[in-house]
Amino acid sequence: MSAVPVPQVAARVAQVAAGRRGRARRRRSVTGVLLLVVVALFATSLMVGQTFYGPGEVWRVLIGEPVPGASFTVGELRLPRATLGLLTGLAFGLGGVTFQTLLRNPLASPDVIGISSGASAAAVVAIVVFGLRDGAVSLVAVAVALATAAVIYGLSYRHGVAGTRLILIGIGIAAMLNSVVSYVIVRAAQWDLPMAMQWLNGSLNNATWSDVVPLLAALVLAGGVLLLLGRALDTLRLGDDTASALGIAVERSRLLLIGTAVVLIAFGTAATGPIAFVAFLAGPIAARVVGPGGSLQVPAALMGATLVLAADLVGQFLFDTRYPAGVITGVLGAPYLIYLLIRTNRAGGSL
Amino acid sequence: MTTDHQLSAQGLGLGYGDRTVVTDLDLVVPPGRVTAIVGANACGKSTLLRSMARLLSPREGRVVLDGEDLHRLPTKQVARTLGLLPQAPVAPEGIAVGDLVGRGRQPHQRMFARWSAEDDTAVAAALEATGTTELADRCVDELSGGQRQRVWIAMALAQQTDLLLLDEPTTYLDVAHQVEVLDLLLDLNAAHGTTIVMVLHDLNLAARYADHLIAMADGRVSAAGDPGEVLTAETVRAVFGLECHVLPDPTSGRPMILPLGRHRASAPVPVGVA
């Protein structure tokens, strides 16, 4: 190393710092645009329906003024629905990208490897077989989702967790659990069917505040923990050895991240059913939009909310028949899954 | 930076599953010097390095850093003293060089603290030292193997540790880049007194660049010391099971080995060779 004159050193520090700040600024502004898109979709969900209400009327409903007609339609029907869509989208996006980042593979999303299926199967059994409702369903879904994650993790653990082995085992577990869902629904009583059907295709139909509250609590707590662990998650992308050399407690961080993400996914699934492929799509799309260098947690969460709110609007109003949001995201997600499988097969993929 | 960090292994036993790799191994890393560990494939040299970097817990004995059991110290505290460049580090797809090198600052940052001027200075210095300043805004995926290895070393430098462990830093590099990387490591050692421990495949490069050579065979230290004393035909036979000539390297005077295979050995042995 040769001695470099001091002003030149300062100039290089400034140059390097400017590059870093530029990249950070770009990520922030794209994230800001995503936030605006989510706000716009949320507002549209409140305004559009069989009767259109303008932003003024919607705003007056939101701040609690009585507006004839709008108070009920917007306040009681559309607001819980849009809020539920927003929150599940955030939860699926954040939970999904945590899994994908941690396992360094976009296929390792909780809806592909059976975590969502675990929550679904538990909820269907709880509703149809045991006649449980609301909060109890959520708790059972969370417990079984955690157990499913533990089983997948345990079965794929050999000298650490390898992404591919975990994904294959997870796909197998998902198939088993989906057959449980089908079996229970075939045997279900007529009056349980509408509710249980939600567990085949996630939807925002019949959204109520009692669906929203547990999910909001889970999102604040689990989402907060995931954001706190964001730096560890980001460092784990460099590989276990490097992350450990950089001072991350690898095994402990990974278990905490997986456990928390499972809780988030399970609460989301318990509230709306498995809205197909949102957890799977949000992270990779966010990575394309924001650029893959930095943390994807917030962009992926916003992308999840964008997907759910947009899919719900499309499903409700773009066709003659009303489709649940999960059908729309499923139509979007399946081709992407195939594309990804082809690409991964060729290149060995990451996010 | 200080150079008096003491790293040693005492009665170390290491293994994976029911396979024992290293048994009852003692070694002392000379502070402020460059140490190279050499040995045949599967002799346990990388396993030893992983254990010294706190990645693998010992089954017996212990690794001691400044008088304390390395595996009982908090990860983050270790990461401020001891850096590691693993054999096959993974770069997140699409990350910029400057951002990757910035990851080396992780052990110095608190959970909520923002990026500091000190971090920027450390990253710029690490880029400068490895000759990668011009690459700072490029994407790591676009770089050549030699450039990428320099970037990884820059990340380890940004960590600003007094001890740096490297697992085969020259693998996959052509000979010019191998020399370039090793020259860079010696620069660092000379400029900051950084203690360097590296696993190397190439015996001649190890002898040329190391102050201290550790030859391993079957999970034990077979010989350790000055390269001139360690690298003899007998050691090479014991460690690699290979017959060879040992000549003085005309440039550095360090020992240099010429392997004797079963073929093309008909030329007369030059005068003065044992």
H-type alpha helices, B211-259: 227-230, 233-240
Q: What is the pLDDT of residue A349?
A: 47
Helix (H) or strand (E) holding B163: strand B163-167
Q: A-chain residues within 8 Å CB-CB of B116? A: none
pLDDT digits (tens, 9 = 90+) for B135-148: 888 888 889 888 88
The single residue listed with the structure tokens 């010391």 is B225
Q: Is the pLDDT of residue B270 over 60?
A: no
Asked if B7 reaches chain A (Cβ–Cβ under 8 Å), the answer is no
Alpha helix positions (H), B82-144 = 97-102, 117-129
Instruction: Write the single-letter amino acid at A313.
Output: L
CB distance from A104 to chain B under 8 Å?
Answer: yes
Task: Test A19 with B53 for CB contact under 8 angstroms.
Answer: no
Q: Judge: A242–B84 Cβ closer than 8 Å, yes or no.
A: yes
Instruction: Give me the phi and psi of A131, to 5 degrees please.
Output: 65, 25
Whether the pLDDT of residue B269 is over 60: the answer is no
Q: Which chain B residues touch A242 with a CB distance below 8 Å?
A: 84, 86, 89-90
Separation CA A211–CA A136 (nearest Å): 12
Query: What is residue A6's predicted lDDT score, i.e. its pLDDT?
Result: 61
Shortest distance between the Cα of B56 and any Cα of chain A, in A, equals 10
Q: Give yes or no for a contact between A126 and A141, defined as CB atoms under 8 angstroms apart.
A: yes
Does the beta carbon of A236 lie under 8 angstroms from any beta carbon of chain B?
no
pLDDT at B1: 45
State the Cα–Cα distance between residues B165 and B48, nearest whole angstrom: 11
8 Å CB contact of A15 and B133: yes
The C-alpha atoms of residue A126 and residue A138 are separated, in whole angstroms, by 9
Residue B70: count other Cβ atoms within 10 Å of its Cβ.
Answer: 22
Contact B95 A292 (CB under 8 A): yes
What residues in B contact A294, CB-CB < 8 Å? 99
Distances (CA, A) of B78 to A123, A209, A316: 46, 49, 56
Long-range CB contacts (< 8 A, 24+ apart) of A343-349? A344/A105, A344/A106, A344/A107, A349/A105, A349/A106, A349/A107
CB atoms within 10 A of CB B13: 16
Sequence-distant (≥ 6) Cβ neighbours of residue B60 within 8 angstroms: B11, B12, B13, B23, B24
Confidence of residue A2 (pLDDT cuts 50, 70, 90): very low
Whole-angstrom Cα distance, residue A334 to residue A129? 31
- Please tell me if residue A160 touches chain B, with a CB cutoff of 8 Å: no
Range with top average pLDDT, A31-45, B44-58, B142-156: A31-45
Beta partners for residue B63, in sequence order: B9
pLDDT tens digits, A291-329? 767 789 999 999 999 999 999 999 988 888 888 888 899
Q: How far is residue B198's CA from residue B37's CA, in Å, rounded to a whole number?
A: 6
The alpha carbon of residue B40 is apart from the nearest alpha carbon of chain A, in Å, by 23
Measuring CA to CA, which residue among A295, A272, A288, A264 is closest to residue A339? Answer: A288
Q: Do the chains contact at B133 and A292, CB–CB below 8 Å?
A: no
* Tens-place pLDDT, residues B182-227: 999 999 899 888 999 999 989 999 999 999 999 999 888 999 999 9
Q: Average pLDDT, whole number, for chain B?
A: 88
Q: Report the pLDDT value the prediction gives residue A7, as an integer from 0 to 100.
A: 65
The confidence score (pLDDT) of residue A346 equals 59
Query: Cα–Cα distances in Å, from A232 out to A258, B109, B118, B120?
Result: 12, 12, 21, 20
Task: Report the C-alpha gap between A124 and B21 in whole angstroms.
Answer: 50
B246 phi and psi, to 5 degrees? -120, 120
**Predicted structure pTM score:** 0.85
Residue of A nearest to B152 (CA): A242
Phi, psi angle pair for B38, to nearest 5°:
-125, 165
Tell me the pairing of strands B255-259 and B244-248.
Answer: antiparallel
